[in-house]
Structure 1
């Protein structure tokens, strides 16, 4: 790894799916390696869940595996426990960890780093449908909240069940094991994904995503109370190809959401599908302001982060277009980053690309204003291509203006 980033891969598929900045400037990355994409719900084969930690000034990450022989594991999301800064993770597995039973296909797995410094599984749960956790965070009571969706269920050669969203709350029992307090699961007639998660100071849970098909298709923002009961649902557009990928709860209780739309939500529309950021009232979900930005092509947002010092907003995504005409798109989909002021004014954009597909999964911002982007590439984004998908990290200099 260099001061600009890094690129890793095996002869199979490798992805980084989340990143966080830990105390002391440590960077923590999560994902998988050595997976097979030749499956209805990838990765399969002997995919290995991985967590990498990079200390300041060190070019070499430390490496931890979440792995059961003969099964596939993927680490999807990371979070730090308030007060202790203990690292926790959400993952999925096709196997069964010691002390647990497999629910069926892919199960939700939640764990932490134990006293011995090794990854420790504290919860596994699932059903006959493949679970796909996407976000993890703590609530004010110290319980863990997991959000995600069930992947499509394919039986032999037909679609038996489409994607359905879920939110799961876990609390620690007296023995330290995590137990489900509630599991909010929507069995709808369409295809639904939850990609964003935030928790308010009162324990309210906010999730965002999209209904991809059905009578109520379109991107959504939903609020649940601390017991998992629905309080409201805001449908942003009536288009199933639109999505709200991320939600962030601000200190005063307002929300920031970021996503993609074919509609004009801000002052201008720029291309086919644009990126957008909204600030919304956390109590009602009503819009306070909207910023829309994009190229003349389709721009797809994947994550949002907030600068911990000045409150500016960093959004990442992928585009087949170009934000700067002097720097044309390098291939299929390029990575883009947009920096907005705390009140939604676009300050800067950056773009990186290879001849392949460059997909950013997550972004984090450190106290110096530097952004760290992780994802996968099928090209030579930050080094030579090694397999079908290679994991990458991109570092920016401070993106403050």
Structure 2
């Protein structure tokens, strides 16, 4: 089957969004599908054209980056739709697979309707809630409500909807979307990239001064909703209980400056290390140094509904995982079995949970094995992508039946 993915942005940019996309496209190609993607205006300055990256083909939308204001967004959607249409003519897909935000789905819907192609629309998060979590939006504001309305408009017009977790599916059903229209394609790990846990990188440990430390780590993006301020606030109590405890923060993002200032003012500032962003190919080296990966997400709509990717990567690497007890984490982590859950928004609870893990290592290996097995069996992209196939086939067959009388025959 020929599948054209419609994306907000893609490789070579690095984000959880692009890593999930790469995993899907790579796994589908390995399974025998023919895949390509179109990226939108937010990819950055581009003259358009076709660009190969990591063995994948990306059709680029021309422009100078993120559209500004309402007129800019409307113009951006029009340019995106024009580029998608050109990619359809060039690639001749059987189906369009658009990924959130809803602006992508809207542009794809116009092209799908014009060409008689089926449209699967995939929601990775409700972007109005993501804006609240990022500190760039306010719940209940005009923009929040408009984004929510646009999402429903696209959902109603797509032939099928995919979501990344049960939280999003349940929320859509509560809004009145038919349950049988929604499939769950959960976050997963490409085990060809995170296949074998790396041995401890002694040279890197020496460079970072982590020789005999008990290392608590976070590897990811520094957004306010990640709760890294609570993790830093927990460090004095954790160090009091475990004097060799050190926090290693790998990544960057909007909250970085505030977090660095908070850490510098901490009475245990010498026990908090910032590494900055590292190339994705280097990430395994940092995982190898960490005893416990901590994910202290704050409790809000975004984190209650959406499952993150990073805890799965940590489990694939054979690392222990400790996380706040928000809904997105509860879908991934079984407390006391594959990981540890602690109360959200509570530095004291974080310190207690982490100190307890560091004090008793007797169950570490069992928990690591169970976490790794969970990823292999339930969150492995090589098998996850099979969930799409049944939906693709159903939609393409329906489009082909419709083409018998439609003025716009479906591609085959």
In the superposition, the TM-score normalised over structure 2's length comes to: 0.26
Question: Which has the larger share of strand?
Answer: 1
Structure ranking higher on relative contact order (CA contacts 8 Å, 6+ apart): 2
Structure in which a larger fraction of residues adopt helix: 2
Structure 1 length-normalised TM = 0.26
